[in-house]
Structures are given as C-alpha cells and as structure tokens.
Amino acid sequence: MTRGPALEQGAVRLFGVLVCLAVVLPALPRLGLLAGAVGLLLAAGAAWLVWHSVPGSVAGAWQRRPVVAALWALGALLALLQVGRLSAFMADPERTWGSLVPDAVVADHACLSAYVVAADLSRRGTPNLYDERYYPAFSGDAARLLAPGDIRNLRKWMDDPFEYPPPFLVFPRAALALTDDFLTIRAGWFVLQALGLIVVGAWLARWIGGRDGQLAFLLLPLVLASLSTMLGLQFGQFHVATLLLSVAAMICFEERRPAVGAGLLAVATVSKLFPAFLLVYLLARRRPKEVAWTLGGCAVFSLVGLAVLGWSPFGAFLTYQLPRIHSGEAFSFYEHEAIVVSRNLGIPGLVTKLQFLGVPGMSRELGAVLGWLFTLVLLWLAWTAGRRAEGRVAEARAWLALLSLGALRSPLAPPYVTLSMLWLLTLLAGVIRGRTSWVVGFVAAWLLIMGPPPLTGATEFIVAFAGQLVGLAVCWLALFWPPRAAAGTPEPALSSG
C-alpha cells in the first residue's frame, strides 16, 4: 500500500502554494486581465516546483524535533505575512502598512523609477540620458521639470539616477511598450522578481541535494522574510534579478546547458558588471566553453541594445558616465545622508564613511584606488575558489560568495545587497550540526548582516560596520571552508518523498 505524504511534507507544500499566491493575488487588480493571467501561470509553475522539491526527510519532524518544527512554522508564517503585505503595497502604494517601514523615505522610493525615466529619455532620442540634470537625486525638484510627461504615476517616484550600461534599457523599453502606467510596471516587476527568488532558491537547493540542500530549501522562508529581500523587492532593484540570473546560469552550466546559462549570465553581466567575476571562476575550473558562450552572449545582448536604442546612449556612457563612475562622482548624491553613508556596504564607500566622520584626507580618488585594490583581491579569490571548490554545496557557496563580494565593488552598495549573504548563510547552515554555540553564531550573523533599524550617532556607524565585517567573514568562510566538509553531501538531488 502506498503511503501518502506525511503531515510535515503537506505543511511545507502548502506553504509553497500559499507564498506563491501571496505574491500574485494582491497584485492582480493592478496588473489587469492579461498580465494577471500570466502572473497566475507563473505562480502555478513556481508552486509546482516547490511542491516537488519538498524533501522526504521532513516526515516525522514534529515528533523528532518539535521545537525546530515549530520554529520553522513560525518562520513560514512570517514569510507569508511579509510577502503578502509587500505585494499589497506594490499593488497600491496607499497601503503604506505593507511597506518595509511606513516612513516616506522608504515607502516613496523606487530604484525602478530610474530605469523607466532613462528608457523614456532614450525613446525620445535624448543625447545624454545619463545627464544628472534629469534626476532629482542630483538636482532637486528642478529636475522634475524635465520629467517624462506621458508615463502615468511616475512623477512622485522620480529620484535615483540611472547608472547601468545602455543595453539594460531594452527591458524597461519593453515594459513601456506594454503599458504607460509606472505602478503597473512596478507591480509586475515585483511579481517577476519575487517568484524568481522562490524558483531559483528551490532549484539551487534541489541541485545541491543531500542534507545541505534540504537545509537550504527549508530556510528559504527566512530569506523571503528578511529585511534585505523586502527592501530589494520593494525598491524594484535589478540587483535581485542579477543574483537570480547568475545563480540560474551557473546551475545551467553544471547541467550541461551552456547556451541557456550563457544567455542568463550575459544579461546579468552586461547589466550589472559584477557577475563578471564568475567568468574568472569558470576559467579556473577549466570551463572555457562556458566563458566563450557567455562572452558571445554579452556581444549579442549589446548588439540588440544598439539596434533598439541607437548609438547615443552608448556614446554617453563611454564618454560621460564611465569616468564619473570611476571617480565616484556618479554616486555623489548620497554623500550627505548619514543613514545611507553608514549603511553603504561598498568597499570604496569606506572612504566616504571616514570622511563623513571627519577623518582628514578622505577623498573620492582614494575611494577609487581602494575599489581597484579590492578588484585585484576579488580576481584572486575568484581564481582560488574555482580551483579549490569540491562538491555541489562548495560550488554554490563560491557562487554566492563571489556575487556578494562583487556587489561590494560598487561605490554604493545599499543594504539590499546583503540578500546574497543571507542566502549564502543558508548554504552554510549544514556545518552547525546541532552545536548550540554555532546556532547562536548563525543567528547573530544573520541579524548583524541584515542590519537593525536605523540608529543614531556613532552607534549607527559602529553597528553597520560590524555587519559589514561579518558579511565579509561569511563570504571568506564560504570560499575557504575545508573541502572535505564542503563535499559531504553526495546525494544528487532532494528527495521528494
């Protein structure tokens, strides 16, 4: 007689279905009929993947470890509440109770607005869409006079400047071709990124397999409920998608689908640049075919961008924006905001922190030098990680560690970049093995990396710097954990029971 799924398996599967519905259902009124139907189909696919990824080992967990099972249930409930309320806010910004925090500084901010503004400027044929006069973060309210007038509900959200290479604009240009309502774009992008995080998180756990994969899967609710994830999804930051594209690409490479993996990694690399460190990792693992495919994908993506956008954005990026990025001037808009300076995790931003605290001799030029020194360290780490990673969990740890460190190369790396560090912690959870002191260390590291609510004075800077150091330590640990421990999960995939 065939046994049905255990109560615990059913509970985890139910959570998977509910969290996918929590992403989509509140957003349906904003998305409309067609986009809503697509969203429901994507949610169904994500729920199906989660349903079939539930490890059989959870059966009987309530009897074996009732405290752990109860804690997981609380974490799953928290994730549902967090995702559900954020989806409600993304559908209707008047529901400020769904924002990460109701404060207008967070609730009224959307990095996504910079992408839409730049896309609209490009379709208008603006010679230099990177010009800081178009972005209120640099020029205050006067820049709103240059705001696009034919995109509904955008004006309130305009703030951040556009910083990415031109090919990225293909995506917001496609969004503008579908709708002229910024809030619809915002809700749709949230649904795509949130479901993508669920899918790639479950996929990575299945690929790792064994005890480490099972733990990573069961800890996904913590990742979903974390402040870092909420912040990245609420701001519509492409950083979240960059992580998902990069991790999915590396899994595709391991599953012998180089063309698909190269396409995903090419989009991530051309858009955000820092995933390029994974190419060094691949070279160290003697995977030149995957590197060649990815470089080809970068070329194709750039040519598509050139065909769609024309030469002007590329010329402006090379002659105007790149020098400003190198000097740090492109990110100077944040240098007078204490909370942004303190919570900036970028390594070049350490100079800005010291300058803000009154240390003499700190300059953008010094920050640029520090950034290039950090780049050299990252190149060495990527090569070393590629040569020493043994086993699937060790490889996955290396991917997320390099992506986490690569994001810190930017002069401005806000708290949402710690999403990859928290995700990395779920892959390190297997080393705890019931040791109480390690559990306490895991929780402390999670809280410090995620960061507390804003503090005041020197305490804010000290606590934020402590979280930055812990994040760097976690990445180092992931890259240099003893190979035998990292390779201790021989099972190829999660058992679905």
Residue 248: pLDDT above 70?
Answer: yes
- Residue 131 inside a domain? The answer is no
How many angstroms separate the CA atoms of 83 and 344, rounded? 25
- Residue 235 inside a domain? The answer is yes
Alpha carbon separation from 474 to 228, 428, 477 (Å, rounded): 16, 9, 5
Average pLDDT, rounded, for the chain = 89
- Residue 123 inside a domain? The answer is no
pTM as predicted: 0.93
- Residue 119 inside a domain? The answer is no
Q: What is the pLDDT of residue 304?
A: 96
The answer to whether 251 and 204 have CB atoms below 8 angstroms apart is yes
Residue 255: pLDDT above 80?
Answer: yes
- Residue 24 inside a domain? The answer is yes
Alpha carbon separation from 37 to 41, 102, 214, 233, 242 (Å, rounded): 6, 30, 32, 21, 25
- Residue 3 inside a domain? The answer is no
The percentage of residues in the chain with a pLDDT greater than 70, rounded to a whole number, is: 94
Per-residue confidence at 187, pLDDT binned at 50, 70, 90?
Answer: very high
- Please report how many Cα atoms fall inside a 13 Å half-sphere around the Cα of residue 99, on the Cβ side: 16
Q: What is the pLDDT of residue 482?
A: 78
pLDDT tens per residue, range 124-172: 888 999 998 888 888 755 455 555 567 889 988 988 899 999 999 999 9
The answer to whether 351 and 370 have CB atoms below 8 angstroms apart is yes
Number of domains in the chain: 1
Provide the residue range defining the domain that includes 454: 12-99+185-486
pLDDT tens per residue, range 259-317: 999 999 999 999 999 999 999 999 999 999 999 999 999 999 999 999 999 999 999 99
- Residue 347 inside a domain? The answer is yes
Q: What is the pLDDT of residue 367?
A: 87
- Residue 2 inside a domain? The answer is no
pLDDT tens per residue, range 366-399: 988 999 999 999 999 999 999 988 899 999 999 9
How many angstroms separate the CA atoms of 176 and 174, rounded? 5
